[in-house]
A and B are shown apart, each in its own frame.
Chain A
């Protein structure tokens, strides 16, 4: 049996906080839509749907059938990890929150915001390789050091780790696919290599977890969770790969470019 973690006591509190945060995020996005709509042409409702999907998949890691189990069952924990760190960022990126924010903010603040996006700090962390290290490297720290055990004994650590998983996942996603406002762009091949290496290390990490799960996790749960991480990671990274390649295709295959690739009949 699992030992009783201190996190059990605080978990309902975390769930409440997450739900409140989700409501604020959804309301904030709608508010920004209204402000943006009064200045520019109206913001597509489909993006609100994507934003809500992002919020729901992120919240699902803490609340509901998976979320309720996530802190005591490793398989549910891993399902939550896939939702919070990989799936929800994709929904969020396609709802273009940064574009919306820049439109909704008063000009002065929007300028400050865009200056922030252009700082060298932003340039460094949105480099696909740096973002991959922050994302996948963070996961190695969670599962290959005692961090997984500790975070279930310390509420602050639990919050920091989950916040990191989401933020690093989001950073990773925006560093690979350019859908929202992107100040520093890298070449397709550069991003492709980073993505393949990151996915390779994600696969390797899931096998290392299969080999030796964190110490409080029963062997069966550890192995099933590791396989879920391996194959679930494949499915979600496949989405990223398709989007990345589709963008390459669109740029490199202009509809009216046939002439450029023609040669004289001999």
Chain B
């Protein structure tokens, strides 16, 4: 019999690629928009805890690595597998939201790396920042659940 083959579908790899790119993109947004363009964030806040300097350094180093790794992983997946763009985008939202949330809670609040903006009432900014993070995260998770449901439908039929 003439057997026909089709490429395998990459599920975890495409999700991971999205998450990595999302984390890296949010770190870039943070750096380009809030540090450089708006100059709301400061390079260094003298209230920073010493341990926070290290955790922030590691987080940003990871973000720099992850955007590059995410792009190469995406190239790898497109070359060898089929993939769902929806699942990739769910990963991106999860990555965006989780970096934003970690930055907004642990870095800004727990370690006091820097505040979102100076010489203003910070509370609305903190709420807006973390609420948008949670919204991005939920969007990502919802899209991911939809792709899971789509798969279940397909294998069920």
Q: Residues of A at under 8 Å CB distance from B?
A: 192, 195-197, 199-204, 207-208, 210-211, 223, 226-227, 230, 234, 237-238, 241-242, 245-246, 248-249, 252-253, 257-259, 261-265
Give per-residue flags for B39-77: 1 if the beta carbon is below 8 A from chain A beta carbons, else 0.
000011010100001101111111011001101100110
Q: Give Cα A254–Cα B141 distance, bound, in whole angstroms.
A: 33
Pick the contact of A192: B44, B65, B80, B81 (CB < 8 A): B65
Which of B1-9, B91-99, B115-123, B145-153 forms contacts with chain A? Answer: B1-9
List 29 A–B pairs whose Cβ atoms lie within 8 Å, in order of A's numbering: A192-B69, A196-B65, A199-B65, A200-B58, A200-B60, A204-B53, A204-B57, A207-B43, A207-B53, A210-B43, A211-B46, A227-B43, A237-B61, A237-B64, A241-B65, A241-B68, A245-B68, A246-B72, A252-B76, A253-B75, A253-B76, A258-B7, A261-B7, A262-B5, A263-B5, A263-B7, A263-B8, A264-B3, A264-B5
Choose among A202, A234, A245, A257 the residue with the greatest number of B CB atoms under 10 Å from its CB: A245
Consensus secondary structure, chain A interface: helix
Interchain CB contact under 8 A, B79 and A253: yes
A208-B56 Cα distance, complex, nearest whole Å:
12
- Whether the Cβ atoms of B58 and A197 lie closer than 8 Å is yes
What residue of chain B has the Cβ atom nearest to residue A208's Cβ? Answer: B53
Best-surrounded residue of A204, A211, A259 (most CB of chain B within 10 A): A204
Structural contact, B58 and A265, CB atoms closer than 8 A:
no
Kindly report which residue of chain B lies nearest to residue A192, judged by CB atoms: B65
B139 to chain A minimum Cβ distance, whole angstroms, is: 27
A266 to B28, CA, bound (A): 43
Q: Which 7 A-B pairs have the closest CB atoms?
A: A200-B58, A203-B57, A204-B57, A262-B5, A199-B61, A200-B61, A200-B57
List the B residue with the shortest CB-CB distance to A257: B80
A211 near B44: Cβ-Cβ < 8 Å: yes
B16 CB to nearest A CB, Å? 13
| Chain B residues, CB < 8 A from A227 | 43
Q: A253 touching B80 by the CB < 8 A rule?
A: yes
A74 to B75, CA, bound (A): 42
- Are B7 and A262 in contact (CB-based, < 8 A)? yes
Q: Are A262 and B64 in contact (CB under 8 A)?
A: no
Complex interface bits, B1-43 against A, C-beta within 8 A gives 1, otherwise 0: 0011111100000000000000000000000000000000001
A262/B8 in contact, CB under 8 A: yes
- CA A13 to CA B43, docked complex, whole Å: 38
Q: Within the assembled complex, what's the spacing in Å between the Cα atoms of A230 and B35?
A: 13
Q: With A201-B54, A211-B44, A246-B72 given, is the CB distance from A196 to B5 under 8 Å?
A: no
Q: Shortest beta-carbon distance, B49 to chain A, in Å?
A: 12
Give 17 new A-B contacts, CB below 8 A, not counting A204-B56, A241-B64: A200-B57, A200-B59, A202-B61, A204-B53, A204-B58, A241-B68, A242-B68, A248-B69, A248-B72, A249-B76, A253-B80, A258-B7, A258-B80, A261-B7, A261-B81, A262-B5, A263-B6
Q: Chain B residues near A261: list those with CB within 8 A.
A: 7-8, 80-81
Give the docked Cα–Cα distance between A255 and B42 (Å): 46
How far is it, in angstroms, between the C-alpha of A257 and the C-alpha of B7 when the chains are bound? Answer: 11
* A246 and B59 alpha carbons, distance in the complex (Å): 22
When distances are taken between beta carbons in the complex, the residues of chain B under 8 Å from A238 are 64, 68
CB–CB B72/A262 < 8 A:
no
Bound complex: CA A242 to CA B72 (Å): 9
A208 to B54, CA, bound (A): 10
User: In the complex, what distance in Å separates the CA atom of A210 from the CA atom of B81?
Assistant: 47
CA of A252 to CA of B79, assembled, Å: 11
A252 to chain B, nearest CB (A): 6
**Smallest CB separation, A49 vs chain B (Å):** 26
In Å, the complex CA distance between A264 and B46 comes to 61
Q: How far does the Cβ of B60 sit from chain A's closest Cβ, in whole Å?
A: 6
Query: Which of A197, A201, A204, A245 meets B72, CB within 8 Å?
Result: A245
